[in-house]
Amino acid sequence: MKQSSRLIALMGGTFDPVHIGHLRAAWEAAQALDATVHLMPAQVPPHRPQPLASAAQRLAMLEIAVQGRAELQVDARELQRSGPSFSVDTLLGLRAEVGAEQPLALIVGADAFAGLPNWSRWLQLFDLAHLVVLNRPGAAIEADWQEPLREQVQARRCEDIAELRGSACGRVFALSITPLAVSATAVRESLARGEIPHWLVPVEVLAYIQRERLYAGAA
């Protein structure tokens, strides 16, 4: 095993808008993995509806949300590409920047991970980064896995975080995080009803949403 190095972890999403569920998951991952977590808003998310806020607005909200938190960084690389924001293309670009030896991880939720075989060039992801799967404590995340995914995990699963820092890519690590029942959809619906979703988004982000008059009348 190579000498351990600080992990760079990527966490993508539409962040439409960023909320405490996103931030809590990213912060817990940063702490548990001793990693810098890059929050990456997608330009054109291939597996979900298109965002309501513009790319510039979603980027601005993220930058406001992570201000003063060194372990969380905003990464705009997917907004700088046209077309669908495929994770494999993002990782190819980042790997070219940081070199072959730098430990990288892609953070995904358990539901998204179960659908990994439907992603573009999904097997190539393991050649570019580790996969960190976020799940609720005690949850049986294997229940919905397709057989090709089950085979990959069986060969790559690791239990020791040091293995992620000691190799560049190829491991699968399950990370239990605090479950928070909040979604961007719920935030948008609250705003569309004229409510103020206190405690669901950072107060500075909420102020930006109100200034920009985002999500009014639309969910």
Give the mean pLDDT of 120-136: 95
Enumerate the β-bridge partners of residue 173. 132
DSSP state of 142: G
**Per-residue pLDDT at 146:** 87
**Per-residue pLDDT at 3:** 38
Mean pLDDT of the chain, nearest integer: 91
pLDDT in tens, 2-44: 334 689 999 999 999 999 999 999 999 999 999 999 999 988 7
What percent of the chain shows pLDDT beyond 90? 79
pLDDT in tens, 137-169: 656 667 678 899 999 999 999 999 999 999 999
Q: Which residues of 92-128 are buried (b: 16+ CB within 10 A; e: fewer)?
A: eebbeeeeeebbbbbbbebebbbebeebeebeebbeb
Structure tokens at 76: 């705009």
Asked if residue 34 lies in contact with residue 8, where contact means CB atoms within 8 angstroms, the answer is no
Neighbours of 44 (CB within 10 A): 16
Q: Is the pTM of this model over 0.85?
A: yes
Q: In what order do the strands lie in the sheet with 35-41?
A: 72-74, 35-41, 7-13, 104-109, 130-135, 172-176
* Topology annotation, domain 7-181: Rossmann fold (3.40.50)
Please, how many CA atoms are within 13 Å of residue 99, restricted to the half-sphere of its CB? 4
Is residue 206 left, alpha or beta, with left meaning phi > 0 and alpha meaning psi from -120 to 50?
alpha
Helix, strand, coil distribution of the chain in percent, nearest 5? 40, 15, 40
Per the model's pLDDT, the better-predicted residue between 2 and 130 turns out to be 130
pLDDT in tens, 77-122: 999 887 788 999 999 999 999 999 999 999 999 989 999 999 999 9
Environment class of residue 24 by beta-carbon count within 10 Å: exposed (0-12), middle (13-18) or buried (19+)? middle
Which of the residue ranges 52-56, 167-171, 177-181, 183-187 would you say has the lowest mean pLDDT? 177-181
pLDDT of 48 higher than 80: no
**Per-residue pLDDT at 5:** 66
Domain ranges of the chain: 7-181
